[in-house]
Amino acid sequence: MRNEKLKIGVFDSGLGGLTVVKALSQVIKGADIFYVADTKNAPYGEKTPEQILQYALTITQHLIETHDIDALILACNTATSFAIEKLRELYPELIIIGTEPGVKPALEKSKTGKIGVLATPATLQGEKYQALVKQLSTGKDVVLYEQACPGLVEQIERGAIACDTTKTLLNTWLSPMKENSVDTIVLGCTHYPLVGDVIKNIMDYEITLIETGSAIANRLLILSQNIGHQNDGNLNIFIHYTDTINKESIDSIISDYTFI
């Protein structure tokens, strides 16, 4: 490992990736986490593949040049879909971990095979997601209720978690899942765990929500130890944002951080 202390770069289009940072903070020690909230270009899920790739390349180069990172976490399903292969090609020396909808754990946890997937339009349309679903569901008795959620990321970024508009949007999207007794819902965007309680209230029966932050954290722990990380000592979290950000929402996710 090049650095005495593990240096981790994490990025997303806004607040959502902080759910991944929170999961990392519960597993990783002796590290500095540098989080870039690209609020200027949020939401990624409604941008073109070319735009998303360019954002990812620019942020990664910044993290390397400014912070000399050892690992990069794409805390965004959409960015993973359109940028991770190119980033791995350009930066083979980095540990690079992406985010993808938790279809596999949903299949393992669902008792009925009726699974809902909430995601951005770009994620649902992306080849990576389509290939994942085809691979995992072939030969299984599974029904997926897929729902794009345009506008939800913007509501979350504004801190409008439990407002009437957000509840109305979620009610509309979740109604088919509720009518069909879906028992597991994949939160296919790192922002969506922040409205998890609202989703549970709307469904109004016991439902399993699948998010991927813990899986990412555990994967990083294994890969970082493979390059000599001892996972001992203090963890520091630094946040950089490219435009305005809702600081109260940050405080509701993580409490100990520094703006840079």
Positions marked active-site: 76, 189
β-partners of residue 128 are none
Q: 38 and 213 in contact (C-beta within 8 Å)? A: no
The label of the residue with tokens 């949020």 reads 42
24-51: b (≥16 Cβ within 10 Å) or e: bbebbebbbbbbbbbbebbbbbbbeeee
The counts of H helices and E strands in the chain are 11, 10
SS3 category, 85 = helix
Q: 117 and 101 in contact (C-beta within 8 Å)? A: yes
Q: Token digits for 185? A: 């819902």
Helix (H) or strand (E) holding 116: strand 114-119
Sequence-distant (6+) residues with CB within 8 A of 168 are none
Q: Token digits for 51? A: 């735009």
